[in-house]
Amino acid sequence: MDYYDYSYRVRYGDTDKMGVAYYGNYLAWFEAARTEYFRKLGLPYTECEKQGYFLPAVEASIKYISPCTYDDLLLIRTSVSELKKSALKFEYQTFLPQTMKLLTTGWTVHVCVDQQFKPTRLPQDICSAVQVYSLLQCPQ
């Protein structure tokens, strides 16, 4: 799987007094997109946690290119662009699906830790299942 397209409908509460989605909401949407990426891969993140693996974010970055607003249906294209021994990098592109207008790009880096927050190797099934594919280096 090169990428997964997650759909999200912008809520009223996601907007701010400028009339557009608040800049702080995208990281939560990216999280929901990662969850569905893992599910699609056959590796639900809930299972990962049951096995004692956690993937907290250690870096996050977003570029806000164009705003969206209430009731917009967003498509958040999500892929894993780097895979290391104990870390992986996700990349995201947010589109308005009708026009494929690009709204934001972003990425997050996650380290694999155990329940005591101690870094540990990524589980073998994640490494085997993930196909590395960069959204951000490809021409848009």
Q: Please, which residue, 65 or 127, has the CB nearer to a copy of itself?
A: 65
State whether residue 135 is helix, strand or coil.
Answer: coil
Q: How far apart are CA 69 and CA 52, in angstroms?
A: 38
CB of 100 to a copy of itself, least distance (A): 21
16 part of the active site: yes
- Strand 101-111, strand 73-83: pairing: unpaired
CB of 3 to a copy of itself, least distance (A): 19
Q: Please, which residue, 70 or 133, has the CB nearer to a copy of itself?
A: 70
Binding site for a copy of itself (CB under 8 A): 9, 11-13, 15-20, 22-25, 27-28, 31-32, 35, 44-46, 54, 56-65, 67, 69-71, 108, 117
CB of 51 to a copy of itself, least distance (A): 15
- Contact, 63 vs 111, CB < 8 A? no
Determine which one of 5, 14, 16, 71 is catalytic.
16
- Strand 101-111, strand 87-96: pairing: antiparallel
Q: How far apart are CA 27 and CA 33, in angstroms?
A: 10
Q: How far apart are CA 69 and CA 103, in angstroms?
A: 11
Q: Please, which residue, 83 or 109, has the CB nearer to a copy of itself?
A: 109
Active site residues: 16
